[in-house]
Amino acid sequence: MRKIITVSREFGSGGRELGKRLAEIFGMNYVDGEIAGAVSEEKSLYETYLSGKYESGIFGYPPSGAHSFSCIGSVNNSAMMIARQHKIIREIAARTDCVIIGRGASAVLNEFKPFRIFVYADMPSKIARCRSRADGGEDLSDKQIERKIKSIDGARKKTHELYAAYGWGDKAGYDLCINTSGADIARVAEITAEYASEYFKRNSVQGE
């Protein structure tokens, strides 16, 4: 039975770090920006995925891994792009155990029974997290960062609701929703991995 973890997250809640750490703990592939890269480059996905050379993307972040607040302007919710993303996500899931960040994976991978996490936090925590990792965002006021967070999450919500049965962040569409306000993500990852292990164990028994 394939082991897939999907991480959906509010911007600034530490979801990406959680996803990376889960991938490390389980020794799984970590899938994020390369999906958008594959879409924008019109390449066959698996080729793109294996090459591992796409780290930024349409929804994504600069290759350095640092976050700027400029990505939202390039979001393009065309039905074609979303359909391609979903095809790519399914291709990846069919081939390898992995942690997938965002991109509607929680809604799209039903047949693989992924362990679906949603990560959220209160606004002060999200602003603090953005500040601590931002590159070039240091001159923004808290109000400006808050507006960016809301704008990015608003776009995620809109995109998600074009195709998903449950609303973005509606707990019914997830297995675990984690409030990371003030939390140490490394420790959250360790405990979340235990939940995920239980989930995989259960599904593998049912699948036998």
Residues at the contact surface with a copy of itself, assessed by CB under 8 A: 118, 120, 122, 169, 171-172, 174-179, 181-184, 187-188, 191, 194-195, 198-199, 202, 206
Angle between helices 79-95 and 33-41 (to 10 degrees): 120
Of 79 and 172, which has the nearer Cβ to a copy of itself? 172
60: CB partners within 8 A, 6+ apart: 32, 33, 36, 37, 71
Shortest distance, position 32 Cβ to a copy of itself, whole Å: 23
Shortest distance, position 179 Cβ to a copy of itself, whole Å: 5
Buried b (16+ CB within 10 A) or exposed e, 57-77: bbbbbeeeeebebebeeebee
Of 128 and 183, which has the nearer Cβ to a copy of itself? 183
Shortest distance, position 82 Cβ to a copy of itself, whole Å: 25
Shortest distance, position 11 Cβ to a copy of itself, whole Å: 15
